[in-house]
Chain A
Amino acid sequence: MSFIPGQPVTAVVQRIEIRKLRQGEHLILGFSIGGGIDQDPGQNPFSEDKADKGIYVTRVTPGGPAEVAGLMMGDKVMQVNGWDMTMVTHDQARKRLTKKNEEVVRLLVTRKSLEQAVRHSMM
């Protein structure tokens, strides 16, 4: 999950499709995010590189749509419906996820265990 400045970011990602749940008049996804380019990256407990200002999943509500879709705590969200999430502010990320006219969000997330799994499978 580290990057080399100037080079494209490469990561092993997992596609997760979450169907939003309607609760009253809100559509909820069932997880919490943290991070963003306007936030303090040193306080992120999930990132390896403490300068990483990406969006991370900090909490997953048990039984919610995110958990059902397979999202796990500590995942870094790379894309949401095709929109990049590696260089966004916290508020922009929230907005991209909570668009009212979208029922389904398709995320690309990455986590450490994915890379290890790929490495093991290649060996």
Chain B
Amino acid sequence: MTGLRERVKVDVGCEWNNQEGYGRAGYGVAHLKTKVSSHTPPASKIDSLRSKVELLRLPLALSSKSISHRKSQLGGAGEHGTGGGGAHRGKPRPPASDMDTESQYSGYSYKSSHSRSSRKHRERRDRHRSKSRDSSSRGDKSVTIQAPGEPLLDTESTRGDDRDDNWGETTTVVTGTSEHSVSNEDLTRVSKELEESFPLDCRRFLGPALAAGLGLFALVTPLAFLALPQLLWRESLDPCGTPCEGLYVSLAFKLLVLLISTWALFLRPPRATLPRFYVFRCLLLALVFLFVASYWLFYGVRVLEPRERDYRGIVGYAASLVDALLFIQYLALVLLEVRHLQPAFCLKVLRTTDGASRFYNVGHLSIQRAAVWVLDQYYSDFPVYNPALLNLPKSILSKKASGFKVYTLGEENNTNNSTGQSRAMIAAAARRRDNSHNEYYYEEAEMDRRVRKRKARLVVAVEEAFTHIKRLQDDEPAASSPKHPREVMDPREAAQAIFAPMARAMQKYLRTTRQQPYHSMESIINHLQFCITHNMTPKAFLERYLSPGPTLQYQRENSRGRQWTLVSDEPVTSALRQGLVFSLRRLDFALVVTVTPLPFLHLGEEFIDPKSHKFVMRLQSETSV
């Protein structure tokens, strides 16, 4: 043993400390273990909390526990989490100079702007708020519209967690950037893996697959009707000449039309998965199934059994099935595609966080279809949600601390006193001159001025940068006189070359307008390359940065969809009607949709003879009395 140890010492010089652990078999390991154990309480508490939190996270995704049950489980964890979090200072947010951020609160670190007491108060408030807001405890129907797949930290979401609104407050993290960033990422990684799992992807294609199978079966049926007698009892069939052939031709063309229209109308990838059954589609599938089944039944009983010999009748029967299928397809066209085109309702869509609103006209739809339609419009109409623009500067809001202290002067009944105290404080606060509006006004003016100044600098820098390059014409010789050697660049290099002078102004402008999470350096260079390739002016290049575009502009291209939750009082397959309100909730904001019917219009007619347009000068009128 000792010999071994010395050998280790001699051989491995610098790594002596490391090998010491290996070399000393029993003693060293035990020593290390005891060392570790002495440090366990704080570290293991956090680890055990993390593991507890992860374990709880898993079943949440698959089942729906009651909120109170979950809260009781997590309430303890939450309090510990607060204490543990306070003790351990986390790493600050990486500076925004790399501009390549996933989550959105880059300028808004959790600890920077709020004191601990206000944070605790905010968490308490959040807990109360989310409790009242929770749908399942209130009995509302909360169902999930799942546009397929979904990464959690995409460009829209600002919170790291997904399903449970209570969850955010118990991990004491509202942002993705805090001392809990490590544990938050673990959680998101766990839930991301969950969502990549098999059942979700499969569910997306289940409905269309079923419909496709049924449709194929329905299309093959007439051919089967024709083929079976020929195969089974060909000899005993009545010969059938020209009329049959005519029917064959018409059958063939009708089948062709059916095929093409099915392809055109129904064979499209689904764009959304709805929470409940899509009533019309189910109705149609049931109808098709019923038709085909009843035709088969009749065929089986009346044709296959007695071995019917009248082939012309069989062909006519098959032709009638194809006619019926064509009519069902017409019905499908009307129900699924045409009925909702005539506008009947006006939907007001309001985003809860910053008040952006739009009005849309839709026709008769069910709530879930209307929700999908609204979301389609949302992605291209609404300016992107920027959480950094929401908060009033803290200098304005922090003046709420009342300077009054209320002393009790030896009174016995405490209950009276407390209400009297609070009333007195409220009255005093109301009487005190509140100048926060004044500061808000000046702060706004200052902000505007700053933005305009930065914008001016940016525009000038970009214009100047664009003058540095020009497009090489085809007829110009690439290599001109040796005095001015011009190197020929492709768009990417040209973009990189002129990016440097405008980078600083661009960065400052984006930071002032709080847009820097949306534009990384890479994306700016890509956009610049795109603009150069298409001969755009500096103004066209800047269009993307000077005004916040629709949300779709900032989406990453990925096949996983966005997850929205539809919250509504009524069952989501019921039709829209007046006064209905439903909301589409995402992680940290919601769209509230209000339905009003479009007014009925009484249109009257009035005929004005073109010769009746006569005018007089406005004179002194004279009346004789």
Binding site for B on A (CB under 8 A): 28-29, 31-35, 39-40, 43-44, 58-59, 61, 90, 94, 97-98
Chain A minimum-CB-distance residue to B619: A43
Q: Contact between A97 and B620 (Cβ–Cβ < 8 Å)?
A: no
Q: Contact between A29 and B625 (Cβ–Cβ < 8 Å)?
A: yes
Additional pairs, 20, CB under 8 Å, beyond known A39-B620, A90-B623: A28-B624, A28-B625, A31-B624, A31-B625, A32-B622, A32-B624, A32-B625, A33-B623, A33-B625, A34-B622, A34-B623, A40-B619, A40-B620, A43-B619, A44-B620, A58-B622, A59-B624, A90-B621, A94-B623, A97-B625
Tell me which residues from 574 to 625 in chain B have a Cβ below 8 Å from any Cβ of chain A: 618-625
Shortest C-beta distance, B624 to chain A (Å), equals: 4
Q: Contact between A32 and B620 (Cβ–Cβ < 8 Å)?
A: no
Interface centre among B618, B622, B624 (most CB of A within 10 A): B624
Q: Is the interface of B mostly helix, strand, loop or mixed?
A: loop
26 A-B pairs with CB atoms under 8 Å apart are A28-B624, A28-B625, A29-B625, A31-B624, A31-B625, A32-B625, A33-B624, A33-B625, A34-B620, A34-B621, A34-B622, A34-B623, A35-B620, A39-B620, A39-B621, A40-B618, A40-B619, A43-B619, A43-B620, A44-B620, A58-B622, A59-B622, A59-B624, A94-B625, A97-B625, A98-B625
Bound: A34/B625 CA distance, A: 11
Q: Contact between B619 and A33 (Cβ–Cβ < 8 Å)?
A: no
Bound: A33/B621 CA distance, A: 8
Shortest C-beta distance, B616 to chain A (Å), equals: 12
By a CB distance below 8 angstroms, the chain A residues around B625 are 28-29, 31-33, 94, 97-98
Q: Is the interface of A mostly helix, strand, loop or mixed?
A: mixed
By a CB distance below 8 angstroms, the chain A residues around B618 are 40
Chain B minimum-CB-distance residue to A36: B621
Bound: A29/B624 CA distance, A: 8
Bound: A61/B625 CA distance, A: 10
By a CB distance below 8 angstroms, the chain A residues around B623 are 32-34, 90, 94
By a CB distance below 8 angstroms, the chain B residues around A43 are 619-620
Bound: A61/B624 CA distance, A: 9
Shortest C-beta distance, B617 to chain A (Å), equals: 9
Shortest C-beta distance, A74 to chain B (Å), equals: 13
Chain A minimum-CB-distance residue to B624: A32
Bound: A79/B624 CA distance, A: 17
Bound: A35/B621 CA distance, A: 7
Chain B minimum-CB-distance residue to A55: B623
Chain B minimum-CB-distance residue to A98: B625
By a CB distance below 8 angstroms, the chain A residues around B624 are 28, 31-33, 59, 61
By a CB distance below 8 angstroms, the chain B residues around A94 are 623, 625
By a CB distance below 8 angstroms, the chain A residues around B622 are 32-34, 58-59
Tell me which residues from 371 to 410 in chain B have a Cβ below 8 Å from any Cβ of chain A: none
Shortest C-beta distance, B625 to chain A (Å), equals: 5
Bound: A59/B621 CA distance, A: 12
By a CB distance below 8 angstroms, the chain B residues around A33 are 622-625
By a CB distance below 8 angstroms, the chain B residues around A28 are 624-625
* Chain B 219-241 interface mask (CB, 8 Å, partner A; 1/0): 00000000000000000000000
Chain B minimum-CB-distance residue to A97: B625
Bound: A44/B623 CA distance, A: 14
By a CB distance below 8 angstroms, the chain B residues around A31 are 624-625
Interface centre among B618, B620, B621, B625 (most CB of A within 10 A): B625
Chain A minimum-CB-distance residue to B620: A43
Bound: A64/B384 CA distance, A: 83
Bound: A32/B618 CA distance, A: 18
Shortest C-beta distance, A28 to chain B (Å), equals: 7
Bound: A90/B618 CA distance, A: 13
Bound: A44/B619 CA distance, A: 9
Chain B minimum-CB-distance residue to A18: B625
Bound: A17/B2 CA distance, A: 147
Shortest C-beta distance, A19 to chain B (Å), equals: 14
Chain B minimum-CB-distance residue to A61: B624
Shortest C-beta distance, B389 to chain A (Å), equals: 54
Q: Which 6 A-B pairs have the closest CB atoms?
A: A32-B624, A43-B620, A34-B622, A97-B625, A29-B625, A34-B620
Bound: A88/B477 CA distance, A: 88
Shortest C-beta distance, A123 to chain B (Å), equals: 36
By a CB distance below 8 angstroms, the chain B residues around A61 are 624
Chain B minimum-CB-distance residue to A44: B620
Shortest C-beta distance, B310 to chain A (Å), equals: 93
Chain B minimum-CB-distance residue to A56: B620
Chain B minimum-CB-distance residue to A32: B624
Bound: A43/B624 CA distance, A: 18
Bound: A29/B625 CA distance, A: 6
Bound: A98/B625 CA distance, A: 7
Bound: A35/B619 CA distance, A: 10
By a CB distance below 8 angstroms, the chain A residues around B620 are 34-35, 39-40, 43-44, 58
Chain B minimum-CB-distance residue to A90: B621
Bound: A12/B618 CA distance, A: 31
Bound: A11/B623 CA distance, A: 25
By a CB distance below 8 angstroms, the chain A residues around B619 are 40, 43
Shortest C-beta distance, A68 to chain B (Å), equals: 15
Bound: A108/B621 CA distance, A: 22
By a CB distance below 8 angstroms, the chain B residues around A29 are 625
Bound: A44/B621 CA distance, A: 10
Bound: A97/B621 CA distance, A: 16
Bound: A44/B620 CA distance, A: 7
Shortest C-beta distance, B618 to chain A (Å), equals: 6
Bound: A38/B116 CA distance, A: 72
Chain A minimum-CB-distance residue to B623: A94
Bound: A81/B624 CA distance, A: 18
Bound: A29/B620 CA distance, A: 20
